[in-house]
């Protein structure tokens, strides 16, 4: 239980305003009372589609106080995507600041909410087994599914994250990724639970992020691939004082060692790679001392890992490569639509779809997504491996590798590349060919202005494949 002193301490900052824990709780109580008056009941779902703002945090806590589950919708999503979300989750009410949601169902606009701060209403603690959040999976290969987390599973995830990062009340974090994504919400809730201080940014701006590390004395920085790339290529990175950082956490996508090492060389700050998913937010994390870039770390206490054969499902031994499967108290309760849950499990183990291996010392190595592996003349090609090589070329700003169907069941390796200096397709194909096996060389390089990514940094390969298909048909 928080002491009265802790309740009065600053917990959340946004632009020039700060919020204490006590104020956040009082505001959430006031909004919860409003939701109840609007007809929200225990067991209901409430949609939340909001930009990055303190009211987002207040809204999440208010929905929980009212006994409901919050359906998190990305503010970047368009009408068709939001219609899909509402059809899958069937919320009883809605909160937010996005017109697309207001056009589809009655929505209490966060700009119009009267937050008196009186904490009106008496609310019972939530049932640990009840749904707390529904967050949507990445949807890199199709329409996203709603991932159901109970209060118990999400609380377990925040405990795992607190322990892995060794967070205390002395730590200071900032969140630039959308809190509607599991990592953004996890970082906010973990910081609040650990008694740490967190700054929420309206949007990502690298200069502002670097300035705030210096001014706020941020101790833990969270980064996904686009942020890391921007840091590595920032012309004035050395001009910022980043000495307060204990480390930078790299998550959501595989580490590109060359990019990470460039940031460390220029700043002196080391990395802590970690691994999680919407379905199981904290799977593995590197030790804070002795972290390595070629592994996502060891499974955090409470998470069990096994590796199974991609074809037969047979449980594999130490060092053998296959699909990563998991058990943990922080594992989701299931999906919506519910029928998607069955195929996600094998004998009670959650099938991640990620390919990797675990060595004798418990270090977990990820190769790629099983669904994204490219089959070339009987060989398996991991897109991440080819991407890692391409990113080492000085002319490449960003890239993504995917497969397209070819003759006799084989696929061709295609590389989408955005550049920061002139380079030819032949140059890049040769560059990869000098460093990887012949069958891993791109068959074609497609030059694009920007690589389509989710806010988490994950590449939307589905979009690239669709674009490639349309181009091929023209």
Whether residue 337 has a cis bond before it, omega within 30° of 0? yes
Tally of structural domains, the chain: 2
Among 80, 102, 126, residue at a domain's last position? 126
**In this predicted structure, what is the pLDDT of residue 246?**
96
Mean confidence (pLDDT) of the chain: 89
Check residue 345 and give its pLDDT.
94
pLDDT at 387 over 70: yes
Mean pLDDT of 193-210: 93
- Does 434 map to a domain? yes
Q: Report which of 86, 34, 85, 93 is spatially closest to residue 68, judged by C-alpha positions.
A: 93
Domain membership of residue 220 (yes or no) is no
> Are the CB atoms for 290 and 338 separated by under 8 Å?
no
In a domain, 172, yes or no: no
The model's confidence at residue 343, banded by pLDDT at 50, 70 and 90, is confident
Q: Give the up-direction half-sphere exposure of residue 255: CA atoms within 13 A in the CB hemisphere.
A: 26
Whether 33 maps to a domain, the answer reads yes
pLDDT at 409: 56
Percent of the chain with pLDDT over 70: 91
CA distances from 397 to 204, 380, 419, 447, 450 (A): 18, 26, 5, 11, 9
Q: Token pair for residue 257?
A: 């060692």
Torsion 236-238-241-247 (CA) sign = positive
CATH number at residue 107: 3.40.50.980
117 lies in a domain? yes
| pLDDT confidence of residue 376 | 82
pLDDT digits (tens, 9 = 90+) for 13-22: 999 999 999 9
302 within domain boundaries? no
| pTM for the predicted model, two decimal places | 0.80
442 part of a folded domain: yes
What is residue 120's predicted lDDT score, i.e. its pLDDT? 55
Nearest of 454, 471, 398, 420 to residue 177 by alpha carbon: 454
Token pair 């096996």 is found at 437
Which of 101, 126, 151 terminates a domain? The answer is 126
Q: Indicate the Cα dihedral angle 341, 346, 348, 352, nearest 10°.
A: -70
Average pLDDT over residues 389-395: 92
> CA 374, CA 402: separation in Å to the nearest integer?
7
Strand ranges inside 406-474, DSSP E? 411-419, 444-447
What number is the average pLDDT over the span 135-152? 78
246 assigned to some structural domain: no
159 phi/psi in degrees, rounded to 5 = -65, -45
CA distance 23 to 115: 10
| Percent of the residues in the chain that have a pLDDT greater than 90, as a whole number | 66
Spatial separation of the C-alpha atoms in residues 108 and 123, rounded to whole Å? 21
385 vs 286 pLDDT, higher one:
286
Residue 251 CA to residue 184 CA, distance in Å, equals: 11
Query: How far is Cα 464 from Cα 452, in angstroms, rounded to an integer?
Result: 8
Q: What is the pLDDT of residue 4?
A: 46
**pLDDT category, 378, cuts 50, 70, 90?**
low
DSSP 124: P
Q: In terms of residue numbers, what domain contains 429?
A: 373-473
Contact (CB, 8 A) for 336 and 131: no
For residue 175, count other CB atoms closer than 10 A to its CB: 22
From 108, 126, 144, give the residue that closes a domain: 126
Does 1 have pLDDT greater than 50?
no
pLDDT higher than threshold 70 for residue 157 = yes
Tell whether the model's pLDDT for residue 95 goes beyond 80: yes
Average pLDDT over residues 288-298: 93
Q: Are 174 and 242 in contact (CB under 8 A)?
A: no
At 409-452, the pLDDT tens digits run 578 999 999 999 999 999 999 999 888 878 889 999 999 999 98
What stretches of 37-113 adopt beta strand conformation (E)?
Answer: 45-49, 69-72, 93-96, 108-109
**Where residue 385 sits, what CATH number does that domain have?**
3.30.300.30
């Amino acid at each position: 239980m928080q002491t009265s002193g802790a309740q009065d301490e600053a917990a959340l900052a946004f632009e020039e305003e700060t919020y204490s824990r006590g104020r956040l709780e009082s505001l959430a109580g006031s909004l919860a009372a409003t939701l109840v008056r609007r007809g929200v009941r225990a067991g209901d779902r409430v949609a939340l589609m909001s930009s990055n703002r303190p009211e987002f945090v207040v809204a999440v806590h208010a929905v929980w106080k009212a006994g409901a589950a919050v359906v998190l919708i990305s503010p970047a999503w368009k009408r068709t995507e939001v219609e899909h979300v509402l059809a899958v989750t069937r919320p009883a009410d809605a909160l937010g600041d996005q017109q697309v949601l207001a056009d589809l169902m009655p929505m209490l606009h966060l700009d119009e909410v009267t937050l008196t701060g009186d904490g009106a209403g008496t609310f019972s603690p939530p049932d640990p087994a009840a749904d707390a959040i529904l967050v949507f999976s990445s949807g890199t290969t199709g329409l996203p599914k709603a991932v159901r987390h109970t209060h118990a599973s999400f609380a377990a995830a925040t405990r795992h994250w607190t322990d892995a990062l060794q967070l205390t009340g002395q730590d200071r974090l900032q969140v630039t990724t959308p809190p509607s994504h599991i990592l953004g919400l996890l970082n906010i809730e973990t910081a609040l639970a650990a008694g740490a201080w967190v700054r929420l940014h309206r949007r990502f701006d690298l200069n502002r992020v670097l300035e705030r590390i210096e001014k706020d004395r941020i101790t833990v920085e969270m980064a996904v691939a686009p942020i890391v790339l921007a840091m590595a290529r920032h012309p004035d990175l050395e001009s910022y004082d980043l000495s307060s950082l204990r480390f930078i956490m790299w998550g959501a996508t595989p580490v590109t060692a060359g990019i990470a090492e460039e940031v460390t060389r220029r700043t002196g700050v080391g990395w802590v790679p970690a691994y999680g998913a919407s379905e199981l937010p904290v799977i593995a994390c590197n030790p804070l001392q002795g972290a390595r870039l070629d592994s996502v770390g060891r499974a955090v206490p409470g998470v069990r890992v096994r590796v199974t054969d991609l074809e037969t499902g047979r449980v594999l031994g130490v060092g053998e490569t296959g699909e990563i499967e998991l058990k943990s108290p922080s594992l989701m309760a299931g999906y919506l639509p519910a029928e998607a849950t069955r195929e996600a499990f094998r004998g009670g183990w959650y099938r991640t779809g990620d390919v990797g291996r675990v060595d004798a010392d418990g270090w977990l190595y990820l190769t790629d997504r099983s669904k994204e592996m490219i089959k070339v003349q009987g060989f398996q090609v991991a897109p991440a491996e080819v991407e890692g090589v391409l990113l080492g070329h000085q002319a490449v700003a960003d890239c993504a590798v995917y497969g397209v169907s070819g003759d006799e069941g084989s696929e061709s390796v295609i590389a989408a590349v955005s550049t920061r200096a002139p380079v030819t397709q032949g140059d890049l194909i040769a560059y990869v060919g000098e460093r990887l096996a012949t069958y891993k060389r791109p068959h074609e390089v497609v030059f694009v202005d920007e690589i389509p990514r989710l806010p988490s940094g994950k590449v939307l390969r589905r979009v690239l494949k669709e674009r490639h298909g349309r181009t091929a048909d023209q």
